């Protein structure tokens, strides 16, 4: 009974009626012959107005409707507030399940139609959002360098995205996990782009202007080391996860060429791994 009171606030009168009848049942035998007549209307009222209708409700489909609406409003609270502009409809459902006498009228039957409509609409929004985020994840994984994808920080962030899309029902959780992965990729790209040459004295005294100059020849400029990046770490803007035909090859080569030129113009140089024969 305590659980029913917690789940259904309108069951409080049910408990009070039961307690009253239990109190009467403990009376002495003489009381039933002398005083029962005085409280028969109260007992009948408990039965007709409280016990019978609530007992019927708890055994009916209305109880199932009430449970579904209550769970929907609780579990989908964030999604309803952020991604479905249906504040008036949500408020209507809340008022119905908060009505202490909803078991006495047809309000739950009317609310059930509204609940079904909202649930279907939200399910469609969630399906579309998940498909978009899954496509973004696939695109990110197809362009992220393999050297970075093998790093523990990246793998951990990627696992959180996959797990959130599988286990969580909240759209904001999916989006936050994916944005975290994007931030992780950007940070790892920044920290792993290091010059390969590590000379503590890249500019020697003999190379300074005016030193060891040969008369009649122009002075040599000081040695300046450029930033070197690995070819596999180069970000290529290519939307497809797989190269499947000639058109894909042309598109990828064009985007690779653009990325190479952009890095060279930015004063970088690119190291590639020669395939051994």
213-254 residue pLDDT tens: 555 656 655 545 566 666 666 677 777 767 878 887 887 888
Top mean pLDDT of 14-18, 23-27, 61-65 is at: 61-65
Structure tokens at 180: 């975290």
H or E, element range at 268: strand 268-271
> How many separate domains does the chain show?
3
Q: Would you say residue 243 lies in a domain?
A: yes
Instruction: Give the whole-number percent of the chain exceeding pLDDT 70.
Output: 79
pLDDT computed for residue 152 by the predictor: 94
The answer on 174 and 71 residing in a single domain is no
Q: How far is CA 43 from CA 12, 20, 34, 98, 236, in A?
A: 17, 8, 16, 27, 81
The answer on 253 and 167 residing in a single domain is no
3-class SS at 98? coil
pLDDT computed for residue 246 by the predictor: 83
3-class SS at 238? coil
More confident residue, 216 or 187: 187
- Residue 233 carries which DSSP code? G
For CA atoms 16, 21, 24, 26, give the dihedral sign: negative
pLDDT computed for residue 257 by the predictor: 85
How far is the C-alpha of 144 from the C-alpha of 267, rounded, in Å?
Answer: 22
Average pLDDT over residues 145-152: 92
H or E, element range at 229: strand 227-230
The answer on 120 and 24 residing in a single domain is yes
pLDDT computed for residue 194 by the predictor: 52
The answer on 160 and 120 residing in a single domain is no
Q: Would you say residue 15 lies in a domain?
A: yes
The answer on 91 and 57 residing in a single domain is yes
Structure tokens at 114: 């509204």
The answer on 103 and 46 residing in a single domain is yes
The answer on 73 and 167 residing in a single domain is no
Q: How confident is the model at residue 155 (pLDDT cuts 50, 70, 90)?
A: very high
How far is the C-alpha of 14 from the C-alpha of 54, rounded, in Å?
Answer: 7
Whether residue 273 is predicted with pLDDT greater than 60 in this model: the reply is no
pLDDT computed for residue 190 by the predictor: 87
Helix axis angle, 107-143 to 61-75, nearest 10°: 40
pLDDT computed for residue 255 by the predictor: 81
- Average pLDDT of the residues of the chain: 81
Please tell me the chain's helix, strand, coil percentages from 3-state DSSP, rounded to the nearest 5.
Answer: 70, 5, 25
The answer on 232 and 121 residing in a single domain is no
For residue 19, give every residue at least 6 positions away whose Cβ sits within 8 Å of its Cβ, in sequence order, or none.
none
The answer on 111 and 10 residing in a single domain is yes
Q: How far is CA 49 from CA 44, 129, 196, in A?
A: 8, 48, 85
Structure tokens at 18: 């039961």
pLDDT computed for residue 75 by the predictor: 93
Structural domain that includes position 172:
144-192
User: Is residue 65 within 8 Å of 108, Cβ to Cβ?
Assistant: yes
How far is the C-alpha of 155 from the C-alpha of 117, rounded, in Å?
Answer: 39
The answer on 181 and 121 residing in a single domain is no
Whether residue 274 is predicted with pLDDT greater than 60 in this model: the reply is no
How far is the C-alpha of 51 from the C-alpha of 14, rounded, in Å?
Answer: 6
How far is the C-alpha of 79 from the C-alpha of 118, rounded, in Å?
Answer: 11
Q: Would you say residue 132 lies in a domain?
A: no
Top mean pLDDT of 20-29, 148-157, 186-195, 231-240 is at: 148-157
Average pLDDT over residues 62-89: 91
Average pLDDT over residues 38-62: 84
Average pLDDT over residues 40-64: 85
Ranking 99-113, 133-147, 180-194, 214-228 by mean pLDDT, the lowest is 214-228
Q: Would you say residue 120 lies in a domain?
A: yes
More confident residue, 207 or 254: 254
Q: Would you say residue 12 lies in a domain?
A: yes
The answer on 185 and 86 residing in a single domain is no
Average pLDDT over residues 46-72: 88
């Amino acid at each position: 009974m305590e659980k029913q009171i917690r789940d259904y606030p309108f069951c409080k009168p049910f408990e009070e009626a039961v307690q009253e009848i239990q109190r009467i049942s403990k009376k002495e035998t003489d009381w039933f012959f002398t005083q029962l007549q005085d409280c028969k209307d109260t007992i009948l009222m408990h039965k007709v107005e409280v016990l019978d209708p609530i007992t019927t409700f708890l055994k009916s489909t209305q109880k199932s409707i009430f449970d579904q609406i209550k769970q929907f409003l609780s579990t989908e609270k964030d999604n309803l507030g952020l991604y479905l502009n249906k504040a008036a409809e949500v408020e209507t459902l809340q008022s119905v399940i908060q009505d202490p006498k909803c078991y006495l009228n047809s309000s739950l039957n009317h609310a059930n139609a509204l609940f079904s409509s909202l649930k279907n609409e939200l399910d469609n929004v969630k399906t579309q959002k998940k498909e978009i985020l899954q496509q973004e994840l696939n695109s990110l994984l197809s362009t992220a360098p393999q050297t970075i994808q093998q790093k523990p920080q990246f793998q951990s962030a990627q696992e959180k995205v996959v797990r959130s899309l599988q286990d969580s029902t909240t759209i904001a959780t999916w989006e936050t996990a994916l944005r975290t992965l994007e931030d992780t990729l950007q940070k790892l790209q920044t920290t792993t782009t290091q010059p390969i040459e590590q000379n503590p004295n890249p500019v020697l005294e003999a190379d300074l202007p005016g030193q060891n100059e040969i008369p009649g020849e122009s002075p040599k400029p000081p040695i300046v080391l450029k930033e070197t990046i690995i070819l596999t770490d180069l970000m290529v803007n290519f939307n497809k996860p797989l190269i499947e035909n000639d058109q894909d090859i042309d598109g990828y080569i064009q985007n690779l060429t653009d990325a190479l030129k952009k890095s060279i113009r930015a004063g970088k140089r690119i190291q590639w791994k020669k395939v051994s024969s």
